[in-house]
A and B are shown apart, each in its own frame.
Chain A
């Protein structure tokens, strides 16, 4: 085996790392605008989807401008509001949007995640999962996920088998969204409600 001097080893590793860093920086910086654009379009697509408007990546911005009005921390559309949700799953952040009509009934939902296990927790991103929420209510209590859910219960939705941690994350996220929503609908929000909102926020940041 060939031997190399220490000087060579140090120089070699320094050059290698600098070259790799340069390549990555150039690529990351040059692709950034394209990536941000994709993310923006995707967010608009998600919001539109909750109100039943199927948009492609290209026409998302246009349809979004037509149907959605942005308010402070939520979105309004003709007939209700769209609540943003965010929380933590098993491996990383999960988020979603919930469209509610005037009577707090879910008319559409959409969920997504950063890195939940595909086929298990990752199933929250499927239409099949999101459709379970339609017709459920966010009025007197938040919707929660449960094993073998009672389908007649307007606050209960079937959890994902094999995705318990992610399902718990979704339940926590719904509770947080519910607290935000109660504050929106009733001006006289009790102190206990406010403090519980802060608590769940803190948990989420941890």
Chain B
């Protein structure tokens, strides 16, 4: 596999959410609004890239029998570190993030990529793989956040779009279902449907 593919494939044919079905849990939880979705995306990109790098560097020393524990230690150490640094230097951002930082530890993408890729690959490809998967995850998260905030709350990044367009005056109402977690699942389902119909080779 060429290095460029490591970045490119996760956007479509190897997308962590659409194809690998990893990270769906957090994708339901944080996409009610655009801003948390973006913040979560950035944090996952950072953590998955660094974790991939560290585990890849350690990969020949890690005993296979305890590899999951080792990966967990690496991931949680990174996440707590990031959290502490944010709290000290960018307190406002950390308040936005705090709940998501904890969620990153349990994000299946991180563990999934460590187990499937970084354990058996050299450091540089691992970094690219982490970056690619982080970005692939972000694309879906941001798309969901955009749709759910726009139609669920009538705002984008907190800006009252629907109100400015004057839609409420002509009888438009926000769709309350949009801000509920099940709607994220339905939207992901629709995206997967569209995605499979364009990539027939993915269908089983």
Contact = CB atoms under 8 A, between A and B. Distances in A.
Interface of A: 1-2, 4, 8-9, 12-13, 16-17, 20, 23-24, 27-28, 31, 34-35, 38, 42, 57, 91, 114-120, 122, 161-162
Nearest to B145: A119
A129 B57 CA distance: 48
B73 A42 contact: no
Nearest to B40: A118
B84 interface: yes
A12 B63 contact: yes
B2 interface: no
Contacts of B69: 13
A13 B64 CA distance: 12
A162 B100 CA distance: 19
In the A-B complex, the 5 residue pairs with the closest CB atoms: A119-B32, A4-B63, A31-B88, A34-B88, A119-B33
Tell which of B84, B88, B96 has the most Cβ of chain A within 10 Å.
B88
Interface of B: 29-30, 32-33, 36, 60-66, 69-70, 73-74, 77, 80-81, 84-85, 87-89, 91, 96, 98-100, 102, 149, 153, 176, 179-180
B70 A13 contact: yes
7 contacts: A9-B63, A12-B61, A12-B63, A13-B69, A23-B81, A27-B84, A34-B89
A119 B36 contact: yes
Contact of B66 (A12, A23, A42): A12
A12 B70 CA distance: 9
Contact of B73 (A2, A17, A118, A161): A17
A100 to B, nearest CB: 26
Contacts of A115: 98-99, 102
A38 B73 contact: no
Contacts of B153: 119
A119 B179 contact: yes
A20 B77 contact: yes
A116 B96 CA distance: 11
A120 B32 contact: yes
Nearest to A32: B88
A24 B61 CA distance: 22
A23 B29 CA distance: 30
Contacts of B36: 118-119
Contacts of A4: 63-65
Contacts of A120: 32, 179
A16 B73 contact: yes
Contacts of A17: 73
A38 B80 contact: no
Contacts of B70: 12-13, 16
B74 to A, nearest CB: 8
